[in-house]
Amino acid sequence: MHVGMVWWFYLILLVQIKAQNLVKNAELESTSSWDCWGIHCEVTNDHASGQHAVKVTGRQQEYEGPSQFINVQPNSHYSVTGIVKILNDYPGELGQKIGIGVEFTYTDGRKDYLGAASLPLINSHSGFVHLKGDFVSPSKPLKATRIYYNGPKPSINFIVDATTVNHIPTNTNWRTQSDHTINTLRKSNINFHINVDGGIDPSQVQIEIKQTKKSFAFGTAVACDEYMYGHQQYKDFLNKHFNWVTTEGALKWPSMEGTQGNIKYDLPVNTIKELRKHGIKVRAHNIIWSVPTFIQSWVKALSGSALRQAVSQRITGVMSKVKGLVEHWDVNNEDLHSQWYQNRLSDANYNVEVFQQAHKTDPSVKLFLNDYNVVAQGEFTQAYLKQALHVKGSNSGLYGIGVQGHFSDEMRPDPTAIKARLDVLAQANLPIWITELDVMAADENTRADYYETALRSLYGHPAVEGIVFWGFWSPRHWRGVKGAILNAGFTVNAAGRRVLDLLENQWMTHETRKITKIGTNYFTVKGFHGDYQVKVMYQGRELTDQRKSFNLGKSDQNINIHVHK
């Protein structure tokens, strides 16, 4: 690492250490206060800050590393930083994930684990790297909390240096700030100029302003088989309440080509065409998936030029088939969490190559990254920013950042944390889409609170361009009843009522204005972006020839109406 960069990290850490760092012996000048259970820790002069650091060897498990108990409060937000250096590499892999995790032990003895700050693809040539992330502690009563370094293969040795955990104060004004952003960014002025003829009684005139369609994308994942061949209620609910969809599984490579050469296009293509008939736009998900669990056995058997050719055929084949039918493509799904294709080809830049070919195949479609633990949790937020900037800088057609948004079971979305993480990703200056939103709560009123908090936080951030739920009906929701807004019998539950009230009542514009005088009347309505219909009502009946329709975008609209018999 460049000497100047090391000093920059060091200065940042000095500031954070002074901000009531919860970590003891935070500079790791010795092994004091750090537990090295089952591993060997020793002081080394190879360091990034201070005079020394701690070298870690003898690991037997990926989760093993120096650890320390810290005192945290339930339901609180904490920042985490650390400096690490990997000393050796694992054969056949370009790099390792290394990070800081948190172990929560509850008063009933149960435990939970989460990642707080991680970086992928770190190797012995990376030098000292700076981990930065955050976590929100659970609301359950805690007996103990422990941070620990973890991640690389057991044979990998590494050095640990300055570490911080600092409390982040809760932003108690988040709702006011979110509402302000929504009212300024998601709305524009409709300026009405109403001229009333002399033969009209102005007290009998009403102007009805009704938004008929939203411009902002509120969508859902669609189970293509259910939409095409399943319950009609599923299809009707989706068509009525959402203006975007993401294909949940039917466009994924394993679903389409489980056996090499036997490609199943009919279900996804026919579903997309049917959705478009209802004015619904489509996000295509996904071209390839980097996680080995979701890669076909016949693909795993390939290597070198044969693998490149298979991926190339996949890109051109599926993208050409839906060209002009979809608005977005998720390109290489969850590449932060596993890099199977890069490792198999020994090419760290292969992710960029896939984007470049996708862009060449269809220059008109918008290409996305898509990953998790970047906003619902803060483990990979900094890593995702780094990845987005890298792909963006390659001129490979990257349009936006896809944020999955899967919040943990019974975990209340934290508005302060959500905003902080979105602010980090927004530094890439790319549109952000929430691509797979869901929460989990057994109690449907609690679930309603969770969804409302998440939606207000996300819709109220200026970088967010669209929000897509990862399902809605409990039998076809990957998280079942605890994530659904529509029950098995197609009744809308409390969570669904809350969500629909936001989407179709609070965040749409419906107003009626009265006229006060003959001649010229002026008034302004601040409306949400979308399609509108304006009706002139006189003595309880519409003057149909004076109806107006228009689209309200980011620019104000001037509407002139002449009220006459």
Active site residues: 334, 436
Inter-residue contact 78 to 134 (CB < 8 Å) = yes
Radius of gyration, CA atoms only, the chain: 27
Under DSSP, the state recorded for 506 is: I
What contacts 429, CB < 8 A, 6 or more positions away?
A: none
Residues 6+ apart with CB under 8 A from 501: none
Cα dihedral 70, 71, 74, 79, rounded to 10, equals: -60
Helix (H) or strand (E) holding 340: helix 340-345
The CA distance from 238 to 417, in Å, is 31
* C-alpha span between 205 and 203 (Å, rounded): 6
Can you say how many angstroms the Cα of residue 258 is from the centroid of all Cα atoms in its chain?
28
What is the bridge-based pairing of β-strands 464-469 and 519-528?
Answer: unpaired
- Give bridge partners of residue 512 from the DSSP assignment: 208
CA atoms within 13 A of residue 404's CA, in its CB half-sphere: 20
Given a contact cutoff of 8 angstroms between Cβ atoms, the answer to whether 414 and 444 are in contact is no
CB-based contacts of 540, cutoff 8 Å, min separation 6 = none
Placement of tokens 């965040």 in the chain: 507
